[in-house]
Amino acid sequence: MQKIGDRDESPQVPRATLERLLDRLSELNAIGASLSSERDINRLLESILDAAKKITHADAGTLYLLDEANKQLTFEILHNDSLGIRMGGTSGEPISFYPVQLYIDDQPNHAMVVSHAALSGETVNIVDAYTAEGFDFSGTKKFDAKTNYRSQSFLAVPMRNHDSEVIGVLQLINALDEHTGAVKNFSNDDQQLLESLSSQAAIAISNRRLIQQLEELFESFISLINTAIDDKSPYTGGHCERVPVLTMMLAEAANRTKQGELSDFNLTDKDRYELKIAGLLHDCGKITTPVHVVDKATKLQTIFDRIHLVDTRFEVLKRDARIEMLEGCLTEAHYQARLQQLEDDRAFLRQSNIGGEKMKDADIDRVKRIATYQWLNASGEKADFLTPEETENLSIRAGTLTANEREIINHHIVVTIKMLQSLPWPHHLSRVPEYAGGHHERMDGKGYPNGLVREQMSVQARLMGIADIFEALTAKDRPYKEGKTLTESLEILGRFKENGHIDPELFDVFVREKVYLEYAQRFLADEQIDKVDESKIPGYSP
């Protein structure tokens, strides 16, 4: 033990060496911080290899990841500066080399440097591959002969995660002298720095994988909800699939635009993911909507179309008229006139039941008049020809839903908002309820459920509203209508712009950027994709 006053005989480290080491440690810390913030797994792996080469001044390197299922190391990123090679990751250049097997004939493969590092968990530092013993460098020598390269020094470090499990290997080749550029061996400092980096890298990779797995699990739950909705109603299921796609198409178009208010609208990758999730969940509340309302194809449909019951009553009235004629209560002429009137009334109610065209006041009066016909029901009692509920349904002015049923349908957005607001969203997804819950609001405040005006809504909620309407107009899988053509749909959307229903700037982007055509080519039938004259679209400003 050194005593007080004794002279310290420990060797002095040169100041320049200490400063260089501190600089490298500082660089390592900065690298670790940047790795923890990278979301894209390919960019993350490239950053790890680039950082490893930088702090050790290596000319080349490879990053391998462990494939536990197949007991092998797969090439993920391969860089060689001297040869100008960048393969794997975001380079677009696939790696054609076979994976490194960890076991051969059920025996551990310690002949390869990287497999030995993975199996043993030990770092391998080799001064010269051509003189080293104990490892098989035949593949390396073949590569050198083919490329006129000289692989000399090797440093292979296993990457361990927070559970001390090896998840991959970092292998660097040919450490270069900072001043001369000559190949040298990897120093002990290089090894220690790379071991520290590999530990940080493994944790960053594991975290990114865990986040990906959680995101996949979360999206699977969303898919599960949409599958349940789809199982109730295939019409709604298609809607849940298409609206998110169209939403993202319009969002990207808005992101590209350089004019008007939207010139300041910019989407990050986080923004895109948040909007994607909102799109997938925008109608999750429909899981509570009764299927007979969602799929109501005609005005009299519940479990079945009750127009057939009305048909039966007409047959009863025709029978009664014949009896009256045979008993002498009706002349032949009056009988034939009665039959014609009943046939006309039946055809009228059948047409009214479809709900295609908007009913006029005279049509509604005719329904009410027919409703007062008297017939003998199954109990032999006289009754009105139509029940009050049937009269109400057949008097619906447009569509197939009564006011009460429309309220039931509209309530799905209230349920959607309640469902989404009840979830503990992380910060980067905190606006999902607002985006998903605002697609039935209007710019003039006449929408639902909250009566918001344009200034109270985000761009994301506004563009989702356009996507929701356009999908509904063009959808060809609804039970109550045919899918409209592009021209018809854009004409309706244009009128919606003029009357304050949808966002005017986003509508112009929707047309100007040909979002409608991009969507049509993917989802619409050929007969719906007509030639659009944009100059005739109401309200459109190029």
Per residue in 104-121, pLDDT tens? Answer: 999 999 999 999 999 999
d(C-alpha 414, C-alpha 433), whole Å: 11
d(C-alpha 320, C-alpha 377), whole Å: 12
Count CB atoms within 10 A of the CB of residue 22: 10
The answer to whether residues 289 and 409 belong to one domain is: yes
Torsion sign, CA atoms 248, 254, 257, 263: negative
**pLDDT value at position 17?**
57
Residue 222 included in any domain: no
**pLDDT value at position 14?**
63
The answer to whether residues 255 and 328 belong to one domain is: no
Residues 6+ apart with CB under 8 A from 191: 123, 125, 155, 157
The answer to whether residues 238 and 365 belong to one domain is: no
The answer to whether residues 198 and 245 belong to one domain is: no
How many distinct structural domains can be found in the chain?
A: 3
d(C-alpha 152, C-alpha 85), whole Å: 18
Cα 363 to Cα 300, 307, 369, 406, 480: the distances in Å are 16, 17, 10, 21, 20
Beta bridge partners of 376: 382
Of 400, 426, 451, the residue that ends a domain is 400
d(C-alpha 55, C-alpha 46), whole Å: 14
Residue 100 included in any domain: yes
Residue 241 included in any domain: yes
Residue 68 included in any domain: yes
DSSP character at residue 304 = S
Helix segments in 104-233, DSSP class H = 113-120, 138-147, 188-232
The answer to whether residues 441 and 324 belong to one domain is: no
The answer to whether residues 283 and 258 belong to one domain is: yes
Domain membership of residue 372 as a residue range: 307-400
d(C-alpha 172, C-alpha 153), whole Å: 8
The answer to whether residues 258 and 276 belong to one domain is: yes
The answer to whether residues 131 and 280 belong to one domain is: no
Vertex 83: Cα angle to 81 and 84 (nearest 5): 60
Name residues of the chain where pLDDT drops below 70.
Answer: 1-38, 234-237, 477-481
d(C-alpha 489, C-alpha 334), whole Å: 49
The answer to whether residues 199 and 281 belong to one domain is: no
In angstroms and rounded to an integer, the radius of gyration of the C-alpha atoms of the chain is 36
Token digits of residue 362: 């005279």
Residue 44 included in any domain: yes
Residue 300 included in any domain: no
Residue 462 included in any domain: yes
Q: What is the pLDDT of residues 21-65, one digit of tens each?
A: 666 666 666 666 566 666 788 888 888 898 889 889 999 999 999
Of 375, 400, 425, the residue that ends a domain is 400
**pLDDT value at position 338?**
93
The answer to whether residues 381 and 437 belong to one domain is: no
**pLDDT value at position 1?**
36
Token digits of residue 102: 């960890």
Is 383 in a helix, a strand, or coil? strand
Q: For all residues of the chain together, what is the average pLDDT?
A: 88
Is 169 in a helix, a strand, or coil? strand
The answer to whether residues 328 and 379 belong to one domain is: yes
Of 400, 429, 444, the residue that ends a domain is 400
The H-or-E segment that residue 101 falls in is strand 100-101
Tell me the CATH number at 435: 1.10.3210.10
The answer to whether residues 509 and 524 belong to one domain is: yes
**pLDDT value at position 7?**
43
Residue 298 included in any domain: no
**pLDDT value at position 488?**
94
d(C-alpha 442, C-alpha 539), whole Å: 16
Token digits of residue 108: 């551990």
Torsion sign, CA atoms 56, 57, 59, 63: positive
